[in-house]
Amino acid sequence: MKTKGVMLSMLLCAVCTAWAGNDRDAEKIRLVEKIYREQGFMKYASPEFKRIVRKGEKIVYRDEPMGCELFEHYQLGFSNGDSEVPWVQKLKISVRPNGMVHAHYLVEGKRRVDNDFKISCNGGKCMVDDVLYGKSSYRKAYEYIVKFGKCPE
């Protein structure tokens, strides 16, 4: 009898954990949808990610009026930050087994744009820790700037 109670408790814990994971995945997907709608992710960046970007921007904008051309909307695949982007409706978003959120769409029905978002959730609030575009990492680009005092090559 005691064994059945323990097994039932373990089963309920597993179900609750899976359910919580699904809620977290849904929250991550909603966050990425907002990012594409608003064409920017720094508003939703974690404090540490924001700190690195701000520090890097201070360094590069001293010497370069365009900085390193590391603009959020470029990282998301938007060319000039235009707000009229009909292809965003065809945006596909999924959470990968490693927890990264993958988003992709086609520009003018031809060129595929892929982004991966590293998102952490704590206490019902999710924040962006990095955005990957191809093999480039927005965070690593700014970490390079902070470390070497120049734009990544």
Read off the pLDDT of residues 69-81 as tens digits, 9 standing for 90 and up.
777 777 777 765 5
- The per-type count for the chain, helices as H runs and strands as E runs, is 4, 5
pTM above 0.85, yes or no: no
Query: What letter does residue 69 receive in the DSSP assignment?
Result: -
Local structure of 83: helix, strand or coil? coil
Condensed to tens digits (0 to 9), the pLDDT of residues 46-92 reads: 999 999 999 999 998 887 777 787 777 777 777 655 545 555 557 89
Give how far Cα 73 sits from Cα of 16, 18, 27, Å: 37, 34, 22
The amino acid present at 91, given as its one-letter code, is L
